[in-house]
Amino acid sequence: MIMKRIFAYIYILLLTLSFMVSCQKDQDEVPLYISGFFTARTDSDAHIYNLTDDMGKEYSVDNNDLIFDYYNSGSLACDTDVRVVATVCAGNDGKYVIISKTFPISTIAPKYLNENMKGRDPINLKSIYIGGGHLNVVLGMMTENGQITHELYYMLKDNSKHIRIKLYHNAHNDNPVYTQNVYLSIPLTEYNIQKNDTVLFSYKSYEGDCVEKLVYR
């Protein structure tokens, strides 16, 4: 009777160890997905071959690894850097997925800010942070036609220890039917920003004028 109990305990122990090993094996095979802003580099054929996250970690990308390749050969410039929002799969399969380019946005001098741009339409701020030498912003844009007619500009004032960025949004009478995410990545290093300088980002929300204050680290 005692021997049967011993064998039963040994059998249960072996089953438990086998289950733990099996679970560990399954866990090891689960790929790690990392999403966020990246700097993508293109080759001479305008294909993305490298991604660098805002912590400086690089991911090599083969053209065959782009599971959802929204960038055809002619849509990106050759041999250049472009800011993208991407999800990379760091698992054993080595696949990388490009999700979206950042929304095209450019700075505009005050003298070129015409009456059509001065009327700012509201927009929702979802997240904002400084990383990779850029001010990275996720906006919620109310739209009916998928942001085709929307325009975004910013006016920048650079003075000692402060950079002021004012966002202008023109919806061109687009109906606010649903919210679509818009990704902005505004370069800061070209404005001679220094460590511990303050970045002020102002925009118009549906509640009124808002200002976000960030420190460049």
pLDDT tens digits, 22-60 = 444 445 556 677 788 888 888 888 778 888 999 998 888
pTM of the model: 0.75
Question: Percent of the chain having pLDDT more than 90?
Answer: 19
Alpha-carbon distance of 149 to 71, in angstroms, equals 21
CATH 2.40.50.500 is right for the domain spanning 33-101: yes
49-58, 180-189, 200-209, range with greatest mean pLDDT: 200-209
Q: Which of the two residues, 98 and 130, has the higher pLDDT score?
A: 130
Band (pLDDT 50/70/90 cuts) for residue 97 is low
Q: Measured between alpha carbons, how far is 139 from 29 in angstroms, rounded to an integer? A: 35
Single-letter residue type at 153: Y
pLDDT of residue 128: 96
Q: How far apart are CA 191 and CA 129, in angstroms?
A: 17
Residue 190 has pLDDT above 70, yes or no: yes
- What string of DSSP letters covers 55-95? TS-EEE--GGGBSS----GGGS-SS-EEEEEEEEE-STT--
CATH of domain 106-215: 2.60.40.2370
pLDDT-based confidence at residue 92 (cuts at 50, 70, 90): low
Percent of the chain with pLDDT over 70: 64
pLDDT at 213: 96
Question: Residues with Cβ < 8 Å from 66, sequence gap 6 or more?
Answer: 48, 96, 97, 98
Query: How many whole angstroms separate alpha carbon 2 and alpha carbon 161?
Result: 80
pLDDT tens column, 137-174: 999 989 887 756 788 888 888 777 789 999 988 888 88
Using DSSP's 3-state secondary structure scheme, residue 20 falls into: helix
Locate CATH 2.60.40.2370 in the chain: 106-215
Average per-residue pLDDT in the chain?
75
Q: Kindly report, as residue ranges, where domains of CATH 2.40.50.500 are found in the chain.
A: 33-101
Asked if 175 and 138 touch (Cβ cutoff 8 Å), the reply is no
